A and B are shown apart, each in its own frame.
Chain A
Amino acid sequence: GNSVTQMEGPVTLSEEAFLTINCTYTATGYPSLFWYVQYPGEGLQLLLKATKADDKGSNKGFEATYRKETTSFHLEKGSVQVSDSAVYFCALLIGGYQKVTFGTGTKLQVIP
């Protein structure tokens, strides 16, 4: 079946530090890949996505590259801010009916 594995959290960084959150996947097919972010007390919202190998998704300074050879979609940001504190979910979608498989989420805390 399909699955997504994320690095365990929580991750605590100082403001302006470099961020990497690892994500690898297993899929029976050719998935689209996503990163969603959940701010405290809110629902998830799409951060970025990539639909084919070597695509790079980017938004709000975050980037992730679809690596088919390593089945990975790691999230990176060069300089985090306190406002980036949230839970980040890696996810994949295969097929036409929008059934998304989510990872367990990684909590990021950025301290001033």
Chain B
Amino acid sequence: NAGVTQTPKFQVLKTGQSMTLQCAQDMNHEYMSWYRQDPGMGLRLIHYSVGAGITDQGEVPNGYNVSRSTTEDFPLRLLSAAPSQTSVYFCASSSLSSGSNEQFFGPGTRLTVL
């Protein structure tokens, strides 16, 4: 199993550019989420989804959009990148039905906005 995959690993953007961070999982997990990791702040939840067609905002949603058209994929879109969005982004998934509560994380995308 590949688990949770993220692309790209690294990305540099200019202010105002848009891009999509890709996330996919092959574990048939219902729950998927996006976090950003910043020094001294731990992980903060951006958006999450409990199933295809259902998304909701987390702690820091401004400047980000998500969609969940399939169980496997949960892309994160930056519509107009800002330097404050320079961060490491992690996608995670978990099973709502198994009861284990374990989050499985992807390897991360390091984004720099100039």
Contact = CB atoms under 8 A, between A and B. Distances in A.
A98 B42 contact: no
Given A102-B42, A104-B40, A44 B101 contact: no
B91 to A, nearest CB: 8
Interface in B33-58: 33, 35, 40-45, 48, 50, 58
Question: What is the size category of the interface that chain B forms with chain A?
Answer: 20 to 34
A98 B33 contact: yes
Contact of B43 (A32, A42, A93, A102): A102
Contacts of B108: 42-43
A89 B94 contact: no
A43 B105 contact: yes
Nearest to A45: B105
A42 B35 CA distance: 14
A49 interface: yes
Contacts, number: 57
Interface in B60-83: none
A49 B101 contact: yes
B4 A43 contact: yes
A43 B91 CA distance: 9
The 8 lowest CB-CB distance pairs between A and B, nearest first, are A43-B105, A104-B42, A102-B43, A102-B42, A98-B31, A44-B105, A46-B102, A98-B94
18 contacts: A34-B101, A42-B108, A43-B90, A43-B107, A44-B43, A44-B90, A44-B92, A44-B105, A49-B102, A89-B42, A89-B43, A97-B96, A98-B94, A100-B103, A102-B43, A103-B42, A104-B41, A105-B42
Interface of B: 4, 31, 33, 35, 40-45, 48, 50, 58, 90, 92, 94, 96, 101-108
